[in-house]
């Protein structure tokens, strides 16, 4: 990548993308900025996304660094691709991962396509991840700051997307990012990190889902079938969930499974075998680069910020599905989530948990 490379930076209003922009500017690249407006209650359901504040801050950062900025409106596409996906999956009893889909369909597809059309060579974001290139292609690596590593959310990217992606803070730890922001006198140097669903914000999941999935009273039972209480709809819960069950007895209780057909929520204790899985079935296997021979010894994550777990990944006879056999049983395996496969610090493959 030469210093003549033209890069469009996705500026969110947060400190991470602001520092990413600043670093690229300091390194001599030709940079411009775009803010993505993906969610507002005008087009979408109700959320807590402070998009007006975010956009104002993005424009302040761009003005401070004297970089051209524009706004891309992807609201309709975000609603069709991500919001509908959230509701459809929860209604089917699954636990979706909108952050992964948002990266696949919005940031590294729509945003990237628009950037290329406008004459940019690459796009940059404030993700804590790294891309390395060698004779075998492009490799997605964990961010240096393992407490902030976001490679898991990028598990669906392909070689074309990786070839166009720049992650300027991927080899920097968060405290250093804050330090750089203050040294550069960025207006958002002390702004808190965003939380919650990608672009929607931090919401009460039950209240959020009730906008399109109507409540339906059902029983909460333990693994032996004893009735412990009532719920307002199994769709509002996720496997492994502990908070918000509102049942007493010899708790704490965890959601073990969801009986969608009979609208029953099955719960168990932390030592209940039903809460754990030694093997996980996955489908839609996606290799980020070259394919590896199976069976494959590797590490895997079934959720963000989970330490890598030892697995053996193998194919199932006469089926396109694969099986990840874990060395240690995993608690709270949720169908619909992403299983990310790593070799050392490289994310090599991903798939949907069945």
Give catalytic residue positions. Answer: 102, 198
CB 3 within 8 A of CB 29: yes
Nearest Cα to 240, choosing from 275, 281, 290, 287?
Answer: 275
Nearest Cα to 333, choosing from 317, 311, 348, 315?
Answer: 311
What are the angstrom distances between the C-alpha of 189 and each of 181, 186, 240?
5, 5, 36
How far apart are the C-alpha atoms of 203 and 195, rounded to whole Å?
Answer: 9
């Amino acid at each position: 990548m030469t210093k003549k490379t033209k890069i469009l930076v996705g500026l969110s209003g947060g400190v991470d993308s602001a520092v990413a922009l600043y670093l690229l500017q300091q390194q001599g690249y030709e940079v411009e900025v775009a803010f993505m407006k993906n969610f507002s209650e005008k087009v979408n359901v109700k959320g807590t996304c402070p998009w007006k504040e975010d956009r104002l801050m993005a424009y302040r950062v761009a003005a401070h660094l004297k970089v051209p900025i524009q706004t891309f409106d992807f609201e309709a596409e975000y609603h069709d691709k991500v919001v509908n996906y959230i509701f459809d999956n929860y209604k089917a009893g699954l636990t979706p991962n909108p952050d992964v889909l948002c990266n696949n369909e919005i940031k590294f597809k729509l945003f990237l396509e628009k950037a290329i059309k406008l004459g940019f060579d690459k796009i940059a974001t404030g993700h804590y991840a790294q891309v390395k290139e060698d004779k075998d292609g492009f490799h997605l690596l964990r961010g240096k700051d393992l407490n902030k590593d976001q490679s898991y959310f990028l598990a669906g990217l392909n070689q074309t997307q990786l070839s166009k992606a720049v992650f300027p803070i991927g080899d920097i730890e968060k405290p250093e990012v804050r330090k750089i922001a203050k040294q550069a006198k960025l207006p958002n140097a002390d702004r808190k990190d965003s939380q919650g669903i990608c672009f929607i914000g931090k919401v009460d999941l039950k209240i959020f889902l009730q906008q399109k999935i109507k409540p339906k009273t059902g029983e909460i039972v333990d693994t032996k079938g004893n009735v412990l209480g009532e719920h307002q709809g199994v769709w509002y819960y996720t496997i492994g969930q502990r908070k918000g069950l509102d049942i007493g007895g010899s708790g704490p209780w965890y959601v073990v499974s969801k009986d969608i057909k009979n609208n029953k929520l099955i719960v168990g204790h932390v030592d209940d075998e039903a809460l754990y899985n030694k093997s996980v079935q996955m489908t839609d296997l996606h290799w980020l680069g070259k394919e590896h021979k199976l069976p494959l010894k590797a590490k895997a994550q079934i959720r963000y910020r989970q330490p890598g777990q030892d697995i053996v990944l193998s194919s199932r006879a006469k089926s396109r599905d694969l099986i990840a056999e874990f060395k240690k049983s995993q608690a709270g395996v949720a169908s619909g989530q992403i299983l990310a496969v790593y070799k050392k610090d490289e994310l090599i493959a991903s798939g949907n948990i069945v």
